Amino acid sequence: MSALESSSAIKTEKLEGWNRPPVIEPDGEGELMEVAMGPHHPSTHGVFRMDLALDGERVIRLKPVFGYLHRNHEKLGEGQSYLASMPFTDRLDYICSLTNNWAYALAVEKLIGQAVPERAEYLRVILGELTRVQNHASSIGFLIQEMGASGTPLMYAFREREKILDLFEGLTGSRMMCNYMRFGGCRVDASAAWLDAVRKVVAGLPGFVDEFERFLTSNEILMARCQGVGILRPELAVNAGVTGPMLRASGVNYDIRKVDHYGIYDRFKFRVPLGDHWDVYDRYMIRILEMRESIGIVEQALKDIPGGPVMDQKAKIRGLRPKPGEAYGRIEAPKGELGFYLQSDGSPNPYRYRVRPPSLINLTILEDMCLGQNVADVVLIFGSVDIVLGEVDR
Amino acid sequence: MLGEGILKGLAETAKNFAGSFVSAERMTTVQYPEERIAPVEAARVFPFLVYDGADWEAGMRCVACQICEKECPPKCIYIEKSKDKKPDALGKPQFYPAKFDIDVSVCMSCQICVEVCPFEAIKMDNEFELATDDRFGGLLQDRKQLAKSNEYYHTIHPTEAAEVDARLAAEKTKAAADAAAKAARPPAQAATPAPAQKPAGGGE
């Protein structure tokens, strides 16, 4: 299905015409039908509308309409202190609040030149990778749900996600809105009992992925529905700025953990799975393989997590006044490149606060993947992008 | 064979279904509200104001410095400072909140108020059944509703409360030692300002 660590050479012979969306001509019989799919369509993971023009079952045009969940996140960030934005980042991609915290903390740390203690870095890696596991599990569950398997695979995913959320609650006090990372470390230290609980859960995770794969990977219905559907060519993916599992399923070897060397990812051994069919099934498979790699990273991190403080002694939490300047912190969030751009003018509030959300940018190529496909496949392709509307609209 | 994958998946489901009757691990749900899972120690839902002793008004640790009001991200705290002063735990006269309201419907349980409080006066409760049939007055909690005793704090967050108590006791002995040193000094030097005027916790 997907070659591990294959070369990232983009097949250039397929280049001609990639930048023009393929024009699908109606067959001339009957009229086009315009359908507004959403904003209350159950498959849209929130409130999102697709304006479709259909010729029978085929999609001729697709226009995504965003903005129903706009909450003014960036402007709010400019109106309050650096610390006060931290709990709001939880609410961007509410499935993975800890990676949002991490990206924002990284941006502020770059802005003020703050170091992070060793133990805090390890805790960040453990929490970030657990977040990736639970995000991928639930996103596969949602994808299969959109295929029509109402509930069963999603319940398997949520059973496992529940165990990880319990860990988050034990450490941070909240299951989803963790608000855990701070500029210069983490808010509270993890007890030995909590680390043992993580070891217990992580020991059970490979079994869960095996079960999930026995359950789904060779299922004929899943293969018939997913294979060859929603092909995203690597040239288009790169040009559209698509990142994360979407890009890697298109065969492009780009993982910010590998290319940006943020945190302490250089110390861990893990592989980057790549797809070679560029379709929905590859995106499903990439997520399964990434879960396995993430479990490996957590195991390595748990083995050599050092003692010591989780917060830099000189770190200032309240009343932060960075020198005028700018910083961009980015991480490999479960959905793709999540970046925070901050510009300071020396005042307690950022002058400019910008989020680069993976969900929004991965969604912009929805039309290119859907043209010429059936309506039922549009739902599937949309599900395979793995978005959270809180992050798309902000 | 076509259909083999589907049959394998169905076998997996059957295994889980049968397993839920015999193994507690496969039965993951709890029948709320008849059955309840006790909240974890770190759980945080809504802030409350800690008081020492028996009288909530006299023992309230809050000195109405309004740092939490300023730092609260959704701005759900409203404080009015008192005109007069009352003695705090160290016996020093301090302002107290004449009004202290928190809006349940606005609060987002982020715990920033707890982190920035230099007086260990505001802490997080783990009571989560805050529903009420009055969506205006019932959701606005005043300082009497918010006040909860230190003993209650010990029952919900025992480890954290013990650390806080140790910290406060250390400050109290330090303050007493400073006062004794000040009293022992000759009256000519006593006029110089004492250095130990920083608020407890050093949050600033």
Cβ atoms B83, B93 nearer than 8 A:
no
- β-sheet bridge partners, residue B93: B87
Topology of the domain covering A73-393:
Cytochrome-c3 Hydrogenase; chain B (1.10.645)
Predicted confidence (pLDDT) at residue B194 exceeds the cutoff of 50 = no
Mean pLDDT of chain B: 80
At B203 the pLDDT is 39
**Alpha-carbon distances, residue B201 vs B90, B100, B118, B120, B143 (angstroms):** 14, 22, 5, 8, 23
**Number of residues that make up chain B:** 204
B9 contact residues in A (CB cutoff 8 A): 214-216, 219
Q: Report d(CA A239, CA B103) in Å as an integer.
A: 47
At A286 the pLDDT is 92
One-letter amino acid for residue A147 of the chain: M
| Chain B interface includes A196 (CB < 8 A) | no
The residue with tokens 């959905």 is A335
| ipTM score | 0.78
Domains and CATH numbers, chain B: 47-176 (3.30.70.3270)
A169 contact residues in B (CB cutoff 8 A): 40, 42-43
Query: Which residue ranges make up each domain of chain A?
Result: 73-393
The residue with tokens 């217990």 is A200
Residue A275: helix, strand or coil by DSSP?
A: coil
Contact between chains at A169 and B108 (C-beta distance less than 8 A): no
| Chain B interface includes A223 (CB < 8 A) | yes
* Tokens representing residue A82 in the block: 């650096």
CA distance A162 to chain B (A): 9
Q: Report d(CA A360, CA A66) in Å as an integer.
A: 9
* Burial of A269 (C-beta count, 10 Å sphere; 0-12/13-18/19+): exposed
Q: Report d(CA A333, CA A102) in Å as an integer.
A: 9
More confident residue, B186 or A70: A70
Who contacts A336 (Cβ-Cβ below 8 Å, separation ≥6)?
A242, A243, A244, A245, A246, A247, A358, A359, A361, A362
* Tokens representing residue B53 in the block: 């002793």
- CA B43 vs. chain centroid, Å, equals 10
Closest CB to A169 among B40, B67, B108: B40
Cα angle A77, A242, A280; round to 5 = 125
Helix pair angle (A118-147, A97-112), 10° resolution: 140
The pLDDT-based confidence of B199 (bands split at 50, 70, 90) is very low
Who contacts B79 (Cβ-Cβ below 8 Å, separation ≥6)?
B64, B66, B68, B69, B97, B99, B100, B101
At B197 the pLDDT is 45
Chain B contacts in chain A segment 281-310 (CB below 8 A): none
The pTM is what? 0.84
Helices and strands in chain B, H and E counts: 8, 8
The residue with tokens 């001609």 is A16
Cβ atoms A218, A322 nearer than 8 A:
no
Which regions of chain A does DSSP assign to beta strands (E)?
33-37, 49-55, 58-65, 181-182, 185-186, 325-333, 336-344, 352-356
Who contacts B94 (Cβ-Cβ below 8 Å, separation ≥6)?
B63, B85, B86, B87, B88
Chain B residue with minimum CA distance to A188 = B42
Closest CB to B115 among A216, A221, A317: A317
Who contacts A131 (Cβ-Cβ below 8 Å, separation ≥6)?
A96, A97, A98, A99, A164, A334
Q: Report d(CA A154, CA A149) in Å as an integer.
A: 9
Cβ atoms B46, A173 nearer than 8 A:
no
| Chain B interface includes A187 (CB < 8 A) | yes
Chain A residue with minimum CA distance to B116 = A318
Quick: pLDDT tens for B101-157. 898 888 998 888 998 888 888 999 888 888 888 888 788 888 888 888 888 888 888
At A9 the pLDDT is 41
Cα angle A41, A175, A199; round to 5 = 120
Q: What is the mean pLDDT of each run of 10 residues along chain A (394 residues)?
A: 42 45 62 81 75 84 85 88 89 89 91 88 92 91 83 84 90 89 88 90 90 84 85 88 91 89 88 89 91 92 88 81 89 91 89 90 87 86 87 85
Cβ atoms A226, A282 nearer than 8 A:
no
Q: Report d(CA A37, CA A39) in Å as an integer.
A: 7
Q: Report d(CA A391, CA A74) in Å as an integer.
A: 11
